[in-house]
C-alpha cells in the first residue's frame, strides 16, 4: 500500500479517538453537575419538610396553651357556679362551660391532625435523608470516577497527540491539507472501497481507471464525488479457502437455506 495512505488510515483512526476522548472529557463535568443538582433537590426537600415540622410543632404548642386557657375558664365558671343566685345565671355559666369544652374538642382534633401529619412527615424525612446519604456517597464516587476518567483520558490524549504529530510529519503536505479540509467538512476524510467499486463515504461508483489505480495502491485516489481519500479493502477469502471449520459450517447452513437455493 502507498505509505502515505497507510499513515492516513492510522491518522484518521487517531483523530477519531482524539475526538471521542475530547467529547468524553467535556461530558464528565456535566454528569457531575447533574448529580449535584439532584443532591440540591434532596437537600431542599429535607429542609422544607423540617420547616413544615417546625411549623407543626409551634402550632401544636399554641393549641396546647389554648386548651389550657379554656380549661382555666371552665374551672373559673365552675367556681362561679357555686355562688350563683338564680337558675338563669347557673344556666348561663353551664352554657359557657359547654362552649369551652367544645372549643377544647376542636383544638384536640387539630392536635391529632398535626400528630398524624407529623408521623408521615417523619417517614418522608427519614426517606429523604437516607436518599441524600446514598446520593452523596454516589456523588463522591461519581466525582472520583470523573476525576480518574479525566486523568486517564488526558494521558491517552497526550499519547495520541504525539502519535498524531508523528504520523502527520510523515505525510505529504498537500495530502495532509486535503485530509484536514475534508475531515472538517465531512467528519471523515477517508472512505473504504470494496469489490463493488462503491465509495464507502458517498456510495457513488468509481470509474474503472480510478478503481484500478486504487487496487494497485500506487497512488492516492480521491473520490470525485465526495473528495474523500479512498482505500481498497480486498474481498475476504472464499469459504473453501477458510481454515476455520465454523466458517465452512456456516457456509453449508447458508447453502441449505431454501431462499438461497431458489435464487441459484
Which one of 11, 35, 146, 223 is in contact with Zn ion (CB under 5 A)?
223
x-marked contacts with Zn ion along 140-179 as a string, rule CB under 5 A: ----------------------------------------
- Is there binding between residue 190 and Zn ion (CB under 5 A)? no
Place of cell 476525576: 147
Q: Does 200 bind Zn ion (CB under 5 A)?
A: no
Q: Which strand (E) or helix (H) includes residue 241? A: none
Q: Is 214 in the site for Zn ion (CB under 5 A)?
A: no
Q: Which are the contacts of 185, defined by CB distance < 8 A and separation ≥ 6?
A: 227
Selected binder of Zn ion within 117, 124, 131, 202 (CB under 5 A): 202
Q: Which 1-60 positions form the footprint of Zn ion (CB under 5 A)?
A: none
Question: Residue from 28, 183, 199, 221 that binds Zn ion (CB under 5 A)?
Answer: 199
Whether 8 and 151 have beta carbons less than 8 Å apart is answered as no
Nearer to Zn ion, 176 or 226 (CB): 226
In sequence order, what are the residues at sequence separation of 6 or more whose Cβ sits closer than 8 angstroms to the Cβ of residue 221?
A: 206, 210, 213, 214, 229, 230
List, in order, residues 6 or more apart from 3 with CB less than 8 Å away: 170
- Give the integer Cα–Cα distance in Å for 192 and 76: 102
Residue 182 interacts with Zn ion (CB under 5 A): yes or no: no
Cβ pair 228, 180 in contact under 8 A? no
Supply the minimum distance, in Å, between the C-beta of residue 144 and Zn ion: 45
Is 225 one of the binding residues for Zn ion (CB under 5 A)? Answer: yes
Please report whether residue 210 would count as binding Zn ion according to CB under 5 A.
no
Which residues are at the interface with Zn ion (CB under 5 A)? 199, 201-202, 223, 225-226
Amino acid at each position: 500500500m502507498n505509505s502515505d495512505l497507510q499513515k492516513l488510515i492510522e491518522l484518521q483512526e487517531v483523530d477519531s479517538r482524539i475526538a471521542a476522548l475530547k467529547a468524553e472529557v467535556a461530558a464528565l463535568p456535566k454528569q457531575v453537575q447533574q448529580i449535584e443538582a439532584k443532591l440540591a433537590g434532596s437537600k431542599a426537600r429535607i429542609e422544607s419538610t423540617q420547616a413544615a415540622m417546625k411549623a407543626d410543632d409551634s402550632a401544636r404548642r399554641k393549641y396546647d396553651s389554648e386548651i389550657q386557657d379554656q380549661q382555666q375558664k371552665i374551672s373559673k365558671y365552675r367556681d362561679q357556679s357555686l355562688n350563683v343566685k338564680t337558675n338563669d345565671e347557673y344556666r348561663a355559666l353551664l352554657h359557657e362551660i359547654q362552649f369551652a369544652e367544645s372549643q377544647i374538642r376542636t383544638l384536640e382534633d387539630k392536635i391529632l391532625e398535626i400528630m398524624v401529619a407529623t408521623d408521615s412527615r417523619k417517614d418522608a424525612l427519614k426517606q429523604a435523608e437516607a436518599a441524600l446519604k446514598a446520593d452523596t456517597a454516589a456523588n463522591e464516587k461519581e466525582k472520583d470516577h470523573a476525576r480518574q476518567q479525566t486523568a486517564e483520558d488526558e494521558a491517552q490524549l497526550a499519547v495520541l497527540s504525539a502519535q498524531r504529530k508523528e504520523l502527520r510529519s510523515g505525510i505529504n503536505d498537500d495530502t495532509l491539507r486535503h485530509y484536514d479540509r475534508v475531515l472538517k467538512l465531512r467528519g471523515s476524510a477517508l472512505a473504504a472501497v470494496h469489490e463493488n467499486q462503491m465509495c464507502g463515504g458517498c456510495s457513488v461508483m468509481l470509474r474503472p481507471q480510478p478503481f484500478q489505480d486504487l487496487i494497485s495502491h500506487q497512488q492516492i485516489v480521491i473520490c470525485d464525488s465526495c473528495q474523500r481519500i479512498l482505500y481498497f479493502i480486498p474481498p475476504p477469502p472464499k469459504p473453501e479457502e477458510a481454515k476455520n471449520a465454523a466458517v465452512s459450517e456456516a457456509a453449508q447452513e447458508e447453502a441449505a437455506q431454501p431462499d438461497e437455493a431458489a435464487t441459484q
